Every structure is written in C-alpha cells, then in structure tokens.
Structure 1
C-alpha cells in the first residue's frame, strides 16, 4: 500500500508539472499549480496569454486599441510584473484616454480559486512630460505562484501614430496575438522586426467598415498576427539598441486619403527626403556655410603642403579649441553659436569641421547616422527622425577617413564607439542627394602585455612589463590617465595584490594617439609549499569572468570593432629552480575561422616562455554563434585562472 501511494504521488506530481497553461483569459487550477516554465527555468514571470485589437471606431471616430493580458508570477523577482505602466500620448489640442481598466490576481486557497480585484483607488495617472501621461497600477495581492490578469481600452485621436505591437519583452510569452482593422483611407508601411517568426498570419478585407453618412465609405484591411513560445529578451553586453532586435510590428503612415478626394502623401521617397534635408535649417542650410569659417584656422596650418598632414592639423585644431556639450543637436544646430561659445553639440562641431575642410578644398561630406543606443535607421523607406547623429567622411589621395570632432581622445580617422552603428546616409554637398554608406572599422584594436622577468636570489620574481593598448581598447584608459595621472597610478598599484609596481612611465605623448603604451617595473612575491612553487603566469588578466551568461540569446553579439589580446612573458629562473610541470599547449577556434585562442608554454636554457593570443576576426556574430562564443570565452577564463607552472627548489 505504501508503494502504491508513493507511485501515485510521483505520477501526480509529474502530471502537475507537465500540465499546460490554459491559453486565454480564463484562469484555472492548472495555471496556479504549474510553477515552472520548462523552456526557461530562469524566467521570473511568463505571459500566458496576450491579445490586442486596434481598429477605427465608428462610434467615436478614434483609433481604439483593446488589450488583454494573463501573466504567471514565477519568482519573487517576478512580482514586478504586477506593477503596470501604460503610456498615453497627448499634444496641446487632444490626448489619448484609457477606459474599461480591470485587473485581478488569482491564488488557490483550500484548493479553490480566490480572486482579488483591482480597485479604482489603486489606479493613478500622472504627467510624465508635456507629450506623455502615464497610468500606473499595482495588481493587488499578487504573490509568487499567482496568476494576474488585466485588460483595458485606449482611445486615441492620433490615427497617424498607429501603435507598435511588441511580441517580445523581458519575460517569455506562450501566446501573443495582435489584430488590426485599418480603413483604406490610411495606408501604412508595416514592418516586422526581430528574429522571431510569426506562427500565424491571416489577412482579409471587411467591406463598408467605415462610413460618414453622405454615402462615402471605406473598406478595412484586417489582419491577425500570432507568435507562440516567444523567448524573453534579456539584455547583455556587446549589443546595440534592443529596438533593433525586439520582435515587434511597427506602423508608419504612408498615405492618407480624405473622403473629398484629397490625398496627403506622408511617406517620402529618398528624392523627397533629400530635398527636405537640403532645406533643413539644422543640417542642409548649415552645410557649406564657409563664410563663417574663413579665418578660424591659423595660416600656419593652412600652409601645410601635404594634404593628409594639413587635414590632420585642421582636425586637431578644431578638437583642441571647441568642446562637445555631450548632446546630439539634431534639431538644434547653430555654427554661429558654437563659434561664439566655444562649446556645442555634435551636429555643430562636425558641421564646423566639414565647413573648414571644405573651404580648404577637401572632398568631405556629412553622414547622417544613428548612435548605437538609438537604433538602426530603416533602409526600406525614409524616416528622417531615425537619424540622431552626424559624422564626416573625407577622401584624401583615394583613401577614405571617418571623422568626428566631439572627442579630443579620438585620433584622426577614428569614430566614437557610440557611432559604430553599421551604416548611415551620406549627403553629397555637391549634388545635394544622399546614398547609403557603410560604417565599418577594419583596423584591429589590440590589448597587449609583454613581460621579461627573472628570479632573484631571495626567490622573488622581478622584471619589466610593457602594456600596449590601441584603438577602441585604449580609449577609456587614455581618458582615465589624462584626467588624473596620480589617481590612475594609485588605482593601478592597488588593482593587483600579487604585483608591486614601481617606475611607471607613459611612453606616448599625445592624448589622442592611436596607441597607449606604458611600462613599469614589477615584483612578484610568491609563496612556496614544501619547496614547490605553483605559479600562475597570468598575473594580469584580460577577462576575469565570462561576459556571456545567458542560457539563450536571440540577438547578435556586436563588438563594434575587431579585437585581439596578446600576452607574452619570459621568466629566467636561473639555476635555483627546476621545472616539474608545464601546462599543455592549447588551441581553440570559432566556426569558419571567425576567432581563435592560442596558448603555449615552453622551457629552454632555464627560461620559461608563456604565450597567449585571443582574436576575434568579426565585429558582429549572429545569435547562432552564442553558445560557441560562450564556451569559447569560458576557455579563455579557464586558461587565465587555472594555468599553473610547477617549480621546485633544487
């Protein structure tokens, strides 16, 4: 009998775990008893069901969106999903309104469903800014294991701003459905963004869905989109804006047709956009304003005969004499203001540099782009608002250089990391038209450590190290040193308990040199155990931990630039120690030769040489590479942490 009950308990427990959630707003005991999402054991919550329907109401003549959501709370951290914020847009004339807001939490008490409803007193609305209000509410009595549900309707007077639908968020979703009914008066460019695929799509036409009483009517294009088992989007390093990769549907109004026959063409061709840019008072009207910049740069610089040297000198003069205020300035640019105040936004600084270079007969053009955190501009059709930044490209002796005058630590031809966003729209100042321009950095950034050490009579290890960082791997350290050399040195001395540092020297002179090189003398005091020394040669580490920790990543790994890490040390152990054990040589590669690890250790003539090289041959890796990259980096950390050379006193 005891065995029977044991078997029954095991089968019953397994049955509860294996039961599915019910797709829909109805809450069942099974929903409450199932407390694990087997496809993502790390998820703190789960959207069981999500439904949206946007249509043009024939009663209010407003864009109406109905929302329904059912969410499972899987952990204490997941309780934050019970706090909901809804954005309502507004302007000086009209605003969006929310109605029919309902919410509940559900739990099991004595094996019965218990519902706690949201009250009006728990709903708050506040102004976020002149264009946005936020409605906030907290679903009452939400606990770990609870199911919460809520629904509401938004009425919007802004038909031009059809809401995007996000299939993917920071918790996984079992089922997400979005329905639309769009009158033929409005034509939208519709984009499906992200790596997730639709599980179901259906479209059709509803006749006479909208009429205005004088015999005029419109048909509606109806559509249904469904995604199932959508993984969570968890942010991790080495990426651009999440807006590039979150799976969603976006709508941009292309054409509006009034019932009286008037047609308003909202969406533009690039020919239309080029003219708009040409007449833009914050961009096109400021390009080529050379009368502002005739006497800015000293004649000594302008008299340099070599074109590349003269361009570099002009660039250096601008970044030395005009500072960036850390804003973009896309819609607030004034070169006159910059010249007066000596400080300005990115558009002003780069427009100034463009005008000075152009005035001195250089072939230089601006590129409208977007920063990494802002998102990729769409290439399908022009949306000028998707460009929030500007850089330059200059052609000298057949070679192109990208330029940006916002950062005094950038060398000629370097862009700030925020601008490494793959592509932009080049504006030709002669023809006044634009074209797409790739923004890629082929030059390798390097982090290199070279050390030459020897064993002293007291068994301390002493010697000299040269640290060399180039390109983007040198930017932060150059800024840190230049801002406060003494603080930098103190931080360096305290950063490693194994190493005592003296005679530190910075080799390169200029703060915006491509390289940062420093040398120092070091001393390592190692402990012997039974006359044996277990020596880890990686007293300087490139990666203290694996930067990739997710169980699944649905978006690319974007480093922004190619990079290499190089570590080489030589230790002269003299005749006082003998080598008992050297670590084995190792070699690992990423698929398609896109990256490599090389480690070796040798001993000859009482000298031990350790060599390590890590190289990434691509700037961006697709999500399919994530698991191999994760394993690849675990090898790097393992080599650094667990490499041991065993030495013994003779």
Structure 2
C-alpha cells in the first residue's frame, strides 16, 4: 500500500469539547518547534535490524514520526503542519512505503501546497551507511479533479533492509479544517508524536478515537503568542495560545478484518473540529450548528429541499395511469417506487444532494443517489404520502457524529414513508431491491430524518435476512451411481445476490458450467429457475445431479462428503483476539437438508454424532444432525446469525462456532458395498 501520511488522510470528526479563548484581528503568532528528530541520524541498531520483535510479520516499521501544527500569519492566515517520518523496511512488500502520495485540497481560489520537501534512503553497504537523496525529478503533481491535487514522489534505492526518511511542510489556507492525526496505520509504529498550537479565538472540539492509550497527553497555555499589531482593536494587545502534545508508543498495525465497517470508526487518531470563532467585541461566530439550523439550510438548498417540491414534474402524468389501476395505498407506493427505479440508472455516485436536478436527471435517465431518491420522495409526497428524506452515512464512510450536525458526515439519502401505520425505508438506486428493503451499504447504525417539524435520529435496521434453503433428494444405485434433484430457494438478500449473479451468464449452458464448478464431481442438468423478475418472491432453482465416481468401486469402503453446497472452507475470523465489533450487516439463515436412499447392497458405517452449538443471548446457532430410518439417510444442517453486530467480547464464541462448523463439514460418510 502506498504511504499516505496521517495528517493527509481523509477521516471523520468525533468530538470532546475543549474551549480556547482569544481574539482575531491583525496579529502575529509566534511559534517555535523543538521536539523534531534530526534528519539522517540513523542508529546502527535500526539499520541492521531485520525484524520487529513486537510484530515479526511486519513488512515495515515507523521508527519515529512527528507532526507540528500551528497557524502562520506572515502571509495571511495559513495552517502549517511540519511532518517528519522515518521508516524501516523489512520485507519486499514494505518497499511500497517509498511511493508517497500527498493529497492536497483545493478550491476555485485557494489550494494547499507542500514546501521544503526532503527525502532519502539509507542502506548498509560493506558496513558503511550509504545515503541516497531524492532527486527533484522524482517529484510530480497530478490533478485529482475539482477538490484535490496529488503530490507524488518515490524515494530511490529503497529495498528490504533500507531505512527511508522524508519531511515536508504543508501550508493550507483552510484553517477551519485542522488536520486529523492518525496514530495507527497499516504498519506498526515505534513512536508517533503530534503537537498542535492553536490561537485562542479559534475554539476547536477535540477527541481521541480508537482503543489505544496515549503515552503523552498534555496541554498548556503559551502566553503572549499572539500580538495585535493593528486594526479596530488598536495595538499593544497580547493574547495566548494553547499547545497540545499527544504521543503514542509501540503502536500495533491496524488490520482490517472481515465484517468491519469503516476503519475510521476504530483507528486510533486525534480529531479536530472548529466550533466557534470569538472576537474581542463580544461577537461569536458559531461554526457548529444546531440541528434546527441545519434543517432549515437543507430545506432551502437548491440541490436538496427545493428538489422535493418537483413531484409534479416527475410523476404528474404517470400518477394518472397508476390511479386508474384502483390500487390500495401500498400498491400505489409500490408502483411509484418501480417507476422511479425503471426511470433511472444509478451512476454509482453517492451523496445527499442532487447532482443534476431531479427533472433534468429524469430526461437523461441517469443520476446519483440524491437525484434518484429525492425524486422518489418528491413523487411520493406529490401522491399524498407522508414521505421524508433520511440522510445516513454508509458502512464504508464511517459513523456520523450525533453531538451536533456535521452534514459532511452524511453521504447517502433514502426515503422514509409511512403507509397504513407501518414505516417503509426505500432506496430506488438498485434495480433488484424489492419495496421495503435497503442495500446492505445503508446499514450503519442510525440516520437523520428531516421531518417538517424538525429532524430526529432513526435506527436503520434490515427487514429481511440473507436466507437460503437447500433441499436435495438423492438415490444411490446398487452399482454406486448417484442421482438426485437439488432444489434451492433464495430469500431476502440472498435473492438479491442471486439475481445479480444470474446477470453474469449469457445462457443456460454457461450457468451450467458454473454449477459444475460448484458441485465438483456431481454434474448438474435440466436447470429450472423461477421468479427471477418477481422481486417480492424468492428465487427458486432446481436441477438434476448425478455422479458415477463410485461405480468402479469394488466391494469395499468408499468415502462421501454429504455437504454438496454451502460448505464453509475457511474461517473468516483468523485472529485469536479482536479489538473491534463484528458487523454482519444483515442476519444470516441457511438450511441444508439431504435425503439419501440406499440400496440393499450398500450400508453406511456409524453416523457422526449430532452437533448443536449456540451463541450467547440467542445470537446464532449451528446444528448438524444425521439420522437413518430404514434405507433412508437424512442430514439436517442449519446455520444462523440472528444479530447483525457482535461485540469484541463475544468474538471468541463467534470464532469457535465457525471453527466447529468447518470441522463438522469436513466429515466424510463411509459407505460399504456388500
């Protein structure tokens, strides 16, 4: 992974209030940095080290890292961050850390810039340290679009065993966006330290997120660091700053694991958010709004609230056709939902705001999330329904702060509509999503309903499971040939996935080949699939299977694994411990029933014992049970995850359930020909 310094990572704010109390004007801020480490002074121990003793799997290690943030007034207001890092590369995979990407924010009139960039690699050659300095030709800039540019560089002569080091000064005109400092990254760090000096009229909310503890957490007043040199307040006025010092040591690498939401929810980092700007004359500019203020702004916004008034433009004529069908309220809402889905193609762009405008997007048949779902809400409102926008942050976008509104935390909008006393949440961006179901990306805790009488938080939960039922009736002939019928039913989110999967195949033959890969020695044929286009019904699939691998077996034992489908090959929970919750998104429910008719000349040895495991508080279960009645052998296998979120403390039980399931499904039945 390319190296992105922690001050330049895009992350979400979360806050604990600290007040800082000074004044603006025409003033000078004095600043002195005195905690940085000398560039190029490499210890022999670090240069010779071949492994990190606290994490022997690490491909690289941050030996030291410092950041110093402050405001400079020499050329207008600028946020300055001096950054310096030294990294030891242990393995070839760690060489990527020498490819550095610095995202720089920009707008029409302003942009961030990097100055005083210095970089080198250090290698041990014949017992002597060799420094290779970066040539300026290795530095280039790339246009990243409307909001970002990228400065990129590669440190030469970096290899396994090298130490690389670089430093720079970031100068930003966006003083309202004080940078987050991420202590954790995808490689471990021996030490990471961050200082922030903030003049008192800028009142920031600060918070530490993540499970790791600070080794240094200090703040003190720097007296007379602000000197007023003119303006309406006169001269000779001095004011203070506050300096924060934060550090962590022996920081483990952050490892993204299966079933996690956004890493910004768990990464150990310090976050800053400007709350107020205070003036000597008593005026206060509140940057942090109340929800009633945010509600009003969104209501008046041309790309949000104004779009909700255009229902007639998008559904007026179509509503006459729907009304002629004489449907009940739920039927009308379904028709409007289908009409909006069929009228748009989602352009894969998230956002709560309309990108093109609902009327314009309807003409082009394309739009972002805002275009499509604001159209849906407007159409439902025009048809007389109580429909409201519900803004949320998707699973990969992180959790929104709930202390006060930070609209940039939200990147998605859906419709909330009440029909016959029941609430339905709707998203028309997915052609395969039935009425009342949301895409899994939407399940990230709570969202904010923007109601007419004021907004409120609303818990967003799945209404359906990812459910599949597999039933197979099988017969073994006297010569060992196996034939049978497999029937599979896909419900809820498994039905959505199945419909999307079927789109990949051009014809039945191609799909039959895919089934052959899934079922191994069993050859499928005579495939029938129903309800693919009837979204409110489960997808039903049936096909014949046969296998003759046991025909040639002489009177002797032969092994047969009865788990033809749904077999779990590996545990997604590899680590023995876990610091973060497990979030499945939606509940899981799987059932597999296999019935085998045995001939008189084939018997089965002792059947495996029943396995029945359950998670605490009815959180899930695994049951595997073999029974034989006469010549009929029956396997019943059931697996369910009934909750969507499990705490780190419950991780052990979850991991063990999956381990036992894998062990059980590896068991072969032993058949004997007489």
TM-score by length of 2: 0.86
Question: Structure 1 residues 591 and 206, CA, compared in 2 at 3 Å: closer, same or farther?
Answer: same
Counterpart pick for 2:632 among 597, 607, 610: 607
- Give how far 1:554 is off: 4.0
2:151 is the alignment partner of 1:148: no
2:533 is the alignment partner of 1:510: yes
- Aligned 1:566-605 pairs, distance under 5 A: 566-605=591-630
Counterpart pick for 1:278 among 281, 299, 321: 299
- Give how far 1:94 is off: 3.4
The farther-off stretch of 263-272 and 544-553 is 544-553
Q: In the alignment, what sits opposite 2:56?
A: 41
2: CA distance, partners of 1:188 / 1:195: 22
- Give how far 1:551 is off: 6.3
Counterpart pick for 2:450 among 427, 430, 435: 427
Q: In the alignment, what sits opposite 1:488?
A: 511
- Aligned 1:69-148 pairs, distance under 5 A: 69-148=85-164
List per-residue Cα deviations over 1:478-522 (Å, max 9, x = no partner).
123256453434422443321111221113253423522211111
Question: Structure 1 residues 362 and 76, CA, compared in 2 at 3 Å: closer, same or farther?
Answer: same
Question: Structure 1 residues 88 and 333, CA, compared in 2 at 3 Å: closer, same or farther?
Answer: closer
Counterpart contact for 1:448–1:467, Cα < 8 Å: yes
Q: Unpaired runs of 5+ in structure 1?
A: 1-22
2: CA distance, partners of 1:276 / 1:310: 31
Counterpart contact for 1:568–1:610, Cα < 8 Å: yes
Counterpart pick for 2:565 among 534, 540, 545: 540
- Give how far 1:628 is off: 4.5
- Give how far 1:305 is off: 4.9
List per-residue Cα deviations over 1:406-442 (Å, max 9, x = no partner).
22211111011222222211011x32x2111110115
> With CA pairs under 8 Å and 6+ residues apart, which has the higher RCO, 1 or 2?
2
Q: In the alignment, what sits opposite 1:645?
A: 669
List per-residue Cα deviations over 1:296-341 (Å, max 9, x = no partner).
2344556535332332233233323444333335242422123433
Q: In the alignment, what sits opposite 1:14?
A: none
Q: In the alignment, what sits opposite 1:557?
A: 582
2:317 is the alignment partner of 1:295: yes
- Give how far 1:272 is off: 0.9
The farther-off stretch of 603-612 and 352-361 is 352-361
- Give how far 1:553 is off: 4.6
2: CA distance, partners of 1:278 / 1:475: 34
- Give how far 1:134 is off: 2.5
Q: In the alignment, what sits opposite 2:203?
A: 187
- Give how far 1:258 is off: 5.1
List per-residue Cα deviations over 1:167-199 (Å, max 9, x = no partner).
111111122111111001211222323333333
List per-residue Cα deviations over 1:451-493 (Å, max 9, x = no partner).
1111123321111111112111221211232564534344224
Name the SS for the 2:605 alignment partner.
strand
2: CA distance, partners of 1:512 / 1:194: 41
- Aligned 1:310-389 pairs, distance under 5 A: 310-328=332-350, 330-389=353-412
TM-score by length of 1: 0.89
Counterpart pick for 2:256 among 235, 252, 255: 235
Q: In the alignment, what sits opposite 1:475?
A: 496
List per-residue Cα deviations over 1:140-176 (Å, max 9, x = no partner).
3323222222222222222122111111111111221
Q: In the alignment, what sits opposite 1:15?
A: none
Counterpart pick for 1:255 among 264, 273, 276: 276
Q: Unpaired runs of 5+ in structure 2?
A: 1-35, 230-234
2: CA distance, partners of 1:530 / 1:632: 38
1: CA distance, partners of 2:337 / 2:516: 36
Counterpart contact for 1:106–1:148, Cα < 8 Å: yes
Q: In the alignment, what sits opposite 1:437?
A: 458
2:322 is the alignment partner of 1:306: no
Counterpart contact for 1:446–1:564, Cα < 8 Å: yes
List per-residue Cα deviations over 1:371-401 (Å, max 9, x = no partner).
2222222212211122221111222232221
Q: In the alignment, what sits opposite 2:285?
A: 264
Q: In the alignment, what sits opposite 2:68?
A: 53
1: CA distance, partners of 2:263 / 2:110: 31
List per-residue Cα deviations over 1:200-249 (Å, max 9, x = no partner).
31112111111231224431121111222222123343222223222222
Counterpart contact for 1:502–1:521, Cα < 8 Å: yes
Counterpart contact for 1:104–1:117, Cα < 8 Å: yes
Counterpart pick for 2:219 among 185, 199, 203: 203
Counterpart contact for 2:100–2:152, Cα < 8 Å: yes
Question: Structure 1 residues 630 and 42, CA, compared in 2 at 3 Å: closer, same or farther?
Answer: farther
Counterpart contact for 1:581–1:647, Cα < 8 Å: no
Question: Structure 1 residues 471 and 86, CA, compared in 2 at 3 Å: closer, same or farther?
Answer: same
Counterpart contact for 1:542–1:565, Cα < 8 Å: no
Q: In the alignment, what sits opposite 1:31?
A: 46
Question: Structure 1 residues 577 and 298, CA, compared in 2 at 3 Å: closer, same or farther?
Answer: farther
2:422 is the alignment partner of 1:396: no
Q: In the alignment, what sits opposite 1:418?
A: 441
Counterpart contact for 1:425–1:435, Cα < 8 Å: yes
Q: In the alignment, what sits opposite 1:174?
A: 190
Q: In the alignment, what sits opposite 1:6?
A: none
1: CA distance, partners of 2:110 / 2:310: 40
Q: In the alignment, what sits opposite 1:622?
A: 647
Name the SS for the 1:357 alignment partner.
helix
1: CA distance, partners of 2:303 / 2:569: 46
Q: In the alignment, what sits opposite 2:9?
A: none
Counterpart contact for 2:158–2:164, Cα < 8 Å: yes
List per-residue Cα deviations over 1:254-307 (Å, max 9, x = no partner).
222356765432221111101111101111112243432332234455653533
- Give how far 1:605 is off: 0.3
The farther-off stretch of 285-294 and 623-632 is 623-632
- Give how far 1:577 is off: 0.6
- Aligned 1:202-221 pairs, distance under 5 A: 202-213=218-229, 214-221=235-242
